[in-house]
Structure 1
Amino acid sequence: MKSKYFSFVNIIKVRFLKVLFPVFLGSLLFSCETIIDEIDPSKFPGLEQKLVMASFICPQDTVLRVFLSKSLPIYSEIPKYEPVKVLGSSGDSMLYYRNIIYVKNALVEISDGVTKGTFTMNPTNYEYELRGYKIVPGKTYTLKATVENFKVEATATVPKEVPEIENLKITQFTTFNQGFRADTVNGFKMTFDWKDLPNQENYYKLFAEYSNYQKYPKEFAAVTNHIGIIKNYSSFFWNKSELNDEEDLISDNLVDGKTIYSPTGQGYEGFSTYCNNNGCFKSEILKNMPQLFDIQLWNISKEMYLYMKSVRQSSGASDNPFSEPVPVFTNVKNGLGCFAAYNKRVIVMENKF
């Protein structure tokens, strides 16, 4: 009798679940349908197209440059990709495809309150350029751009001083790298420090570059417009460990007036290879021609620091569908982008290795 009772109960449970499951599934599907609503784009505030302006000025620059574009609001039509030829650092012409909305015929002006300069557009790189306008450390500049019904402006103050680069150390190493077609390559590690400017908020950026001259063999003519002697550049990357992202942006928060130590910068001598049916061919580094290190410490404005930080954070989250959106910093009134300033300390030295 006991076993029959339990069998009867089990039968009821099974039948109950058979009835309950479709009801539960239906409610789940119904819920999914009701939580997705299409909202009229007109209900979103601030979706209008805006003018994008970007420029970074420095007392050491001989040419000032301003980049202008237009934003792409949500639900707007994405422009078609257009081929553009760009001259690379090696002298080669490279073909890129862009879908950026470049702005032509804009009035772009810069002023320190006394002296004004007007930019002209360079049709080759689509940037607005100004030559002969001197940027003075400590001064505040206003940049304005006007085109069609857009009118934007922003201000930036140039840092007065830059600390001295001290205790610069460069060491050489050799590594095996599959990226160089299973060949060895010489690299350099670099560190230095500087004394923070006291009693003020400071932001710094590190930059270093190694350059040499290389001879490209005639076989390279199959893949490049230039053969013979070419100047080669290699930028340094700044990391405290191989797992960290680029750490070239530094704040003096908690270290005001103290010595700041750079992370280790790493760069490579670099060479080019080309392989065909006849074998592999490698560029030759010319040891009798200049091989230079260009080491720079930038004192950057807060706007430049915040903008670069936010751009990197936003780019790093772009491939993660679960990451929260990161707003990109802007100080452009009535528009988007950034106008900022920096001052720099430069050391150029020969490669003694």
Structure 2
Amino acid sequence: MQKHILLFTVLCAALLSACEKTIDFKGDGTAPMIVVNGLVVPGKPVEVSVTKSQSFLADAYLFEVLTDAKVDLYVDGEFAETLDLVEVESSEIISHYYPDYSEWAFRGQTIAENGKTYRLEVAREGLQSVSCETTVPDEVELLAVDTATELIPVNHGTQELWAIKIKFNDNAENENFYRVQVDQITGVNKNHYLGEKENSDTIILGEQLALYLDLVDPVFGSTDEANEIVTGTPDNEYALFDDTQIGGREYTVKVGLPHNYNPYRPYPLDEDNGNFLERKIVFYALSPEYYEYLKSATNHFYYADDYFSEPVPVYSNVRGGMGVFAALDSVSCSFISGTYPMEGKVYVKDYRYGGYGYGY
């Protein structure tokens, strides 16, 4: 037994010493490429961002927008229009850290429709031209949404679970891909938030996007326990599933939300204080491109820091370039406890209150 331990120790020492070798990067990286990112949504004009890739050694947070690119849109194989360059509102995070930054996108007049295929041909002088294509999924046929509080067994007793059951009709003519998402907005009277008893006219809003869900339904797949012991197995962070086990029929998919995802609970409801809790349940039908992108993103980030795993590239359907051009359709419903909005109250966002889940 001691010989085995000694041999194992020698092998570990050899491996660790081998990891100390320094390999100089010569700087001959991949040439810059066109990056296209966009989601086609029914009822909205087609819009994409077009930027230039940069070296992983670059310290710039923002990518260069290719404002002089030419973006042609084709619908079901026929030329539709050349998209216009428009200035768009920057995300709140970018606006906070880069107040002078202008964000641009290419937008057309074509309104996206279910079942149609959209292709982009993007060209810019000095860079290789690229193309990408996606088909908008059929309209989601949501039949019912039920919620209830359930007790589920855990290691040391039971846990309260907000069980969500979503009944929908799967189209048998196509291969379909889905995602379940739950967002949460909480409103707390400013004085209550500060520990005071009197009511204020100001309500502090906290937003949590894509909360972590308990995927209790078999359509989400199961964890490989044997592999989990050795290397771990990525969670299905985006609550993705396909219709392999459904087969073109009505189906009720079930997810659970732990009650501890409710930071509102300590604050009482009444008709005057303005405290409320809103939970928004969103059911998506995804194009194959978006489904593959989210799956690859899960694996990419999970294995990024694992030195014993092969790197996982993030999926791209941009031929000749990078990025993802995909489509989705969605339907949602909200459940509100309390009154929102309330007349006479002022609502202010506070990003220290709340947070984000897996919001890709």
TM-score, normalising length from structure 1?
Answer: 0.63
- 1:162 and 2:140 are equivalent in the alignment: yes
| 1:140 corresponds to 2:120 | no
Say yes or no: does 1:71 pair with 2:59.
no
RMSD of aligned alpha carbons: 4.0
1:28-72 deviation digits (Å, cap 9, x = unpaired): 9xx979x99879665xxx8222222211111144x6542343334
What are structure 2's unaligned runs of at least 5 residues?
1-13, 92-102, 152-159, 195-200, 217-222, 224-234, 340-360
Structure 1: runs of 5 or more not aligned: 1-27, 81-98, 175-185, 221-226, 273-281
Alpha-carbon offset, residue 266 of structure 1 = 1.5
Aligned equivalent of 1:18 = none
Contact 2:130 2:321 in 1 (8 A): yes
Contact 2:167–2:252 at 8 Å: present in 1 too?
yes
Alignment of 1:343 onto 2:317: no
Maintained 8 Å contact 2:212/2:257: yes
Q: Could you tell me how far apart the structure 1 residues matched to 2:269 and 2:31 are?
A: 53
Distance 1:216 1:187 in 2: 29
Greater alpha carbon shift after TM alignment, 129-138 vs 295-304: 129-138
State whether residues 331 and 339 of structure 1, in contact with CA within 8 Å, keep that contact through their aligned partners in structure 2.
Answer: yes
**Partner of residue 263 from structure 2, selected from 270, 275, 287:** 270
Write out per-residue CA displacement over residues 254-291 of structure 1, whole angstroms, 9 at most, x where no aligned residue. Answer: 4321444434241633349xxxxxxxxx8776766675
After superposition, residues 197-208 of structure 1 pair within 5 angstroms as 197-208=171-182
The whole-number CA distance in structure 1 between the counterparts of 2:213 and 2:18 is: 47
Alignment counterpart, residue 115 of structure 1, candidates 46, 68, 80: 80
Secondary structure at 1:201 match in 2: coil
Number of residue pairs matched by the alignment: 273
Q: Report the CA distance between 1:146 and its aligned residue.
A: 3.7
SS of the residue 2:181 aligns to: strand
Percent of aligned pairs with the same amino acid: 20
Give the whole-Å Cα distance in 1 for the aligned partners of 2:52 and 2:317. 16
The answer on 1:253 being equivalent to 2:244 is: yes
Residue 320, structure 1, aligned to residue 306, structure 2: yes
- Closer, same or farther in 2 for the Cα pair 1:286/1:306, shift >3 Å? farther
Q: Are the counterparts in 2 of residues 216 and 284 from structure 1 also a CA contact under 8 Å?
A: no
- Report the counterpart of residue 102 of structure 1 in structure 2: 64
Deviation, 1:252, is: 1.1
**Structure 1 runs, 4 residues or longer, greater than 4 Å off:** 35-42, 282-291
Does residue 238 of the first structure (1) align with residue 220 of the second (2)?
no
Q: Is the 8 A contact 1:214 1:230 kept in 2?
A: yes
The 5 A counterparts of 1:83-102 are 99-102=61-64
Deviation at 1:308, TM superposition (A): 0.9
Change (3 A) 1:266 1:47: same
Alignment deviations for residues 119-145 of structure 1 (CA, whole Å, 9 cap, x no partner): 413373424163764111111112344
Flag the structure with larger Rg.
1
Task: Give the CA deviation at 1:154.
Answer: 1.0
The one-letter code sitting in structure 1 at the alignment partner of 2:134 is A
